[in-house]
Amino acid sequence: MSQAWRHWLSSPAGAYLLDWEQKKIDDLVSDIFGYHALQLGMPELEGLRTNRMPHKWLAADDPNVERVHKAFDLSAHSVALPFQADSLDLLVMPHSLELSLDAHASLREAHRVLVPEGHLVITGLNPTSLFGWRHKRSQWYQKWGYSGLSAPPVDELIAYWRLKDWLGLLGFEVKVSHFGCWRPAMDKASWLSRWSWLDTWGAKWWPILGGTYALVAVKKVQGGRIVGVSWKARRSHAKSAVSVAQRQVSPSGTNSLQRENEFESR
């Protein structure tokens, strides 16, 4: 995570974004159960503080970030996480895809480390919003040598529907999604507060135009099922009933036992 991104998060627009995302993620992860949870990057947001899993980590997605922030439990990159396959129950990625060098590889790595039915929480900036419009304007200004317009310092924003398609191709199922932050990303707090009425109107009339989104996706495995503990006492082998196959010959000359064996062998 670049220093420019951290600097923007300390601006009025960045604080506005963090406030909405913190409240939303607190609500989303509070009822996700398991044993191992990881937040990848962005220590300004406490993505796991309301989750009750016994083992939780905060990982740096930039090898050089430990010199600035000492709160990380480990150093990791989104395209190469130091966890075994099928080992995490929850992975929180706040803006990790936008800041990754390869968003597709980061998603594949998230799929690898999550257990079947594991949860993936992602936040991202919506290009179809006032935040996205300001980001586009900032890029235009930079081409002409003007850098006075404050905007999220990322190269490309990933649209919600585009991300949902990527997740579907990997085998994730999006369970919950929310949009927020309908105000423009103004540089001054006084101007940002003047647009506060947009949050009420935007949530009611144009929810998909929020400046940021948060979603929860679940890893699905074809033909997989969760194996739980059997609470029924097993009968002893001596007292268990033994089924006897009845030989019933059909008019075609084959018996029922033969037909069952043929079905199982297919």
Secondary structure of 50-69 in HEC code, one letter for each residue: CCCCCEEEEEECCCCHHHCC
CA distance 135 to 5: 13
Eight-class DSSP state of 80: B
- State phi, psi for 213 to the nearest 5 degrees: -135, 155
Model pLDDT, residue 236:
45
Model pLDDT, residue 149:
59
Model pLDDT, residue 259:
41
Eight-class DSSP state of 159: -
Q: Select from 75, 73, 50, 43 the least CA-distant residue to 60.
A: 75
Higher confidence at residue 141 or residue 117?
117
Q: Select from 33, 53, 40, 47 the least CA-distant residue to 82.
A: 40
CATH number of the domain encompassing residue 128: 3.40.50.150
The reported pTM is 0.79
250 found inside a domain? no
**Rounded mean pLDDT of the chain?**
82
45 found inside a domain? yes
Question: Which pairing describes strands 212-219 and 74-75: parallel, antiparallel, or unpaired?
Answer: unpaired
245 found inside a domain? no
pLDDT in tens, 207-230: 999 999 999 999 998 765 554 444
Domain count, the chain: 1
Pair 111, 170: CB distance under 8 Å? yes
264 found inside a domain? no
Spatial neighbors of 213 by CB under 8 A, at least 6 apart, are 123, 124, 126, 160, 177, 178, 179, 180
CA distance 108 to 70: 28
144 found inside a domain? yes
18 found inside a domain? yes
247 found inside a domain? no
Model pLDDT, residue 26:
98
CA distance 35 to 193: 41
Higher confidence at residue 262 or residue 6?
6
Domain range holding 91? 3-219
Which ranges of the chain would DSSP assign to H, the alpha helix? 3-9, 12-29, 96-99, 103-113, 130-143, 160-170, 189-194, 197-205, 256-265
Pair 177, 190: CB distance under 8 Å? no
Q: At what angle do helices 103-113 and 160-170 cross, to 10 degrees?
A: 50
Does position 135 have pLDDT exceeding 90, yes or no? no
Spatial neighbors of 117 by CB under 8 A, at least 6 apart, are 218, 219, 220, 226
Q: Select from 185, 126, 186 the least CA-distant residue to 156.
A: 126
- Angle made by CA atoms 126, 94, 147, in degrees to the nearest 5: 60
3-class DSSP assignment, residue 124: strand
- Percent of the chain at pLDDT above 70? 74
pLDDT in tens, 60-114: 766 555 444 555 677 777 888 999 999 999 999 999 999 998 999 999 999 999 9
Beta-bridged to residue 42, according to DSSP, are none
The mean pLDDT value for 138-158 works out to: 73
254 found inside a domain? no
3-class DSSP assignment, residue 99: helix
